[in-house]
Amino acid sequence: MKLFYNLFKSPRLANELKQRVIELEKENRRLQDETESLWDMLDEIKKSEQEAFIYYNSLNTESVGEA
């Protein structure tokens, strides 16, 4: 515990650590945004694949008769 007390006793070190925390928080937000964007892209890809599958199946079905 004394070690932590001595570490934070130095104002310069405390400021450096605060700055690093701020940088890490910004990086964390950026990565969260990127992750959310990637999940959105994945959802769009899955939807497109489903639509393509339905379209492909509709092309391969034969009509039973004329309406």
The domain ranges of the chain are 2-57
Two structure tokens written together for 58: 């509709």
Radius of gyration of the chain (CA): 28
At 10-67, the pLDDT tens digits run 788 888 889 999 999 999 999 999 999 999 999 999 999 999 999 998 887 766 656 5
pLDDT at position 13:
81
pLDDT at position 5:
64
Q: Which residues of 36-60 are buried (b: 16+ CB within 10 A; e: fewer)?
A: eeeeeeeeeeeeeeeeeeeeeeeee
